[in-house]
Structure 1
């Protein structure tokens, strides 16, 4: 089974680093919108496809633009929300990486399925500061859940640290921040 991890398009929080990381709920930039539109050609979707989306505005916007007019399954899950890489227990979640509430998602992004059965407790904190041992247990459970879509293409629209954390687990080798994907960068992983 193949998972295709896609990093969101360019967000406002990346325009003036490091100060812009303190932007709450950043949108896609104009360039990020163009990048999201380019996914339509790179990965044409069908109604049989599944997109699992992190609950941040920039990932939701990326998925909405890319999947416009396609009635594929679109699932929002905090199990692919922002994740620090590498983990530093003393670090705090940055404002740009705080996840949206289910209520805001329902209001601003109608038509999406909000995954709660396996992830309800993670809607409040997300996985950003989760210690590696706990993340691995949660990630393995998430990947097991993904297997229910075995005969479908599964895309995960997420964040550089999250994608790197999942890739490290799935591929079985150590990664560094140098392995981070650029905006709308892709990693395909078989498991």
Structure 2
């Protein structure tokens, strides 16, 4: 199986440097929409046998732009972005000031955030839902090419699931509309590329 992930285009929540998890269903902004179209012009949707997307607005719109209306888009709730619980929508600047012990040197929230955001998703639960999705894709499409449009943190966990036993803190966030590609043979995954930009 070849499986390619695209991170959705920019939203105003991204631009405002706020946490944009499972409870923030923002649409693409004008820049995000224009950039997605520019990147999609260099993308061949015909190479893929099947397309999946997060049901969130920003992912669905990005999926429609990249597939140019030529492919059925299957929505899957397991592709929802990481659930930050009460932290969803918070400004990163405020989190850095108030909870510096759970922000890593790259300015990303680490796994210990959950001691403050009690109703947030744990890395373990996140890894499990990503793993469930990946296992199903491999069972259904072992010799096919799968396209998935999703979210920055989710794609980080996908890479972590395959490469670091679910330790997402070792993987950086891709840019908006960037691509990651994995090849899976006999249930062994290799990263072919990560954070590839098309425009």
Place the TM-score, normalised by the shorter chain, in its bin: 0.5 to 0.7
Tell me by how many angstroms 1:49 deviates: 2.7
Aligned counterpart for 2:150 among listed residues 158, 178, 183: 158
1:92 alignment partner in structure 2? 86
Tell me by how many angstroms 1:64 deviates: 1.1
Any unmatched runs of 5+ in structure 1? Answer: 97-127
Alignment of 1:66-85 (within 5 A): 66-70=66-70, 72-83=71-82
Looking at structure 1, the residues matched to 48 and 160 of structure 2 have their Cα atoms a distance apart, in angstroms, of 28
Tell me by how many angstroms 1:181 deviates: 0.4
2:17 alignment partner in structure 1? 17
1:112 alignment partner in structure 2? none
Q: Which runs of 4+ in 1 moved over 2 A?
A: 15-18, 20-25, 38-43, 128-141, 149-152, 172-178
Any unmatched runs of 5+ in structure 2? Answer: 91-118, 185-199
Closer, same or farther: CA 165–28 of 1 in aligned 2, 3 Å: same
Contact (CA 8 Å) 1:47, 1:73: kept in 2 or not? no
Tell me by how many angstroms 1:140 deviates: 2.5
* Larger CA deviation: 132-141 vs 155-164: 132-141
Tell me by how many angstroms 1:95 deviates: 5.0
Tell me by how many angstroms 1:189 deviates: 1.7
Looking at structure 2, the residues matched to 188 and 69 of structure 1 have their Cα atoms a distance apart, in angstroms, of 22
1:138 alignment partner in structure 2? 129
Tell me by how many angstroms 1:40 deviates: 2.7
1:57 alignment partner in structure 2? 57
1:183 alignment partner in structure 2? 176
What is the CA deviation profile of residues 5-30 of structure 1, one whole-angstrom value per residue up to 9, with x for unaligned ones? 11100112122234x85995321111
1:168 alignment partner in structure 2? 160
* Larger CA deviation: 146-155 vs 130-139: 130-139
TM-score between the two structures when normalised by the length of structure 1? 0.67
Q: What number of residue pairs does the alignment pair up?
A: 153
RMSD after superposition: 3.0
TM-score between the two structures when normalised by the length of structure 2? 0.65
What is the CA deviation profile of residues 89-143 of structure 1, one whole-angstrom value per residue up to 9, with x for unaligned ones? xx525259xxxxxxxxxxxxxxxxxxxxxxxxxxxxxxx9432333333333211
